[in-house]
Amino acid sequence: MHQRKIGAEATGRARELWRRIGEADAVAAELLAAIAAPLILRARRSPIPRQVLLDEAARLWPMRGSGIGRLALDIDLGKRRLAITELRVGTGRTRWPGWAPNVSEPDLIVRRLHLNVAEHVLDIGHTTLARIALHALGRWFERARPADDAVLLRDLTVLADADALRGEFRLATPSGGVWIGAIAWLADRAEWFAAVRTYLDADALPLAPARTAPMTEEAA
């Protein structure tokens, strides 16, 4: 069955949101590097973290990327220990195998960031949980009601547990719709992730399953 093309307004809103999230994510990444730098320097000099550095990191982190893009944040600060976990959405581009080298697809990326500092411990990194194709984002703007930033961010939070999904999935959202996709392999980072290919409202018919071939990641 031929699928109706996404309207120009929904496509435009999806691209504009992708641009804004990308800009916010770039700023957040710079701030993260600034927060992490003194912790890394201290770890190179001593396995015992300085409490003043931990206190400062815990104070600054909530300010980092506090605008669009943050989905959840948890900070656990103690004596000579700090654990931060953040669920965040950023942007990227994905190129499917077989596509021309200069062809790629813009997408949103839901990641779980973490910072763990303790005696003899410094662990900073992230896990890719899901990638939402621009097509899926356009369908969301076309079908979700209301279709605003706050509602979309809430709908993206259900992807926090995407690492527990298997195979093809239909993931219900708080707004009443369904993310449709399948688990795929991110070859460049050796990670499994949820490839979200489209969005349906509650009354829509199911679509064909998403592809699950290995993909390559490019910088936005």
pLDDT at residue 101 greater than cutoff 90: no
What is the model's pLDDT at position 1? 44
pLDDT digits (tens, 9 = 90+) for 61-79: 998 766 789 999 999 999 9
What is the model's pLDDT at position 207? 44
pLDDT digits (tens, 9 = 90+) for 120-171: 999 999 999 999 999 999 999 999 988 899 999 999 999 998 877 888 999 9
CA distance 55 to 88: 22
> Tokens standing for 55?
């206190």
What is the model's pLDDT at position 188? 66
Mean pLDDT of 184-189: 74
* Strand ranges for the chain from DSSP E: 70-78, 81-95, 105-118, 121-133, 168-172, 178-186, 191-200, 216-218
CA distance 56 to 137: 37
Q: Is the peptide bond before 209 cis (omega within 30 degrees of 0)?
A: no
Contact by Cβ (8 Å): 28, 65: yes
Confidence of residue 108 (pLDDT cuts 50, 70, 90): very high
What is the model's pLDDT at position 189? 65
**pTM for this structure?**
0.86
What is the model's pLDDT at position 9? 93
Paired strand residues for 93: 106, 218
For 11, phi and psi rounded to 5 degrees?
A: -65, -45
What is the model's pLDDT at position 205? 45
pLDDT digits (tens, 9 = 90+) for 17-46: 999 999 999 999 999 999 999 999 999 999
Please provide the average confidence, as pLDDT, over all residues in the chain.
87
Contact by Cβ (8 Å): 144, 204: no
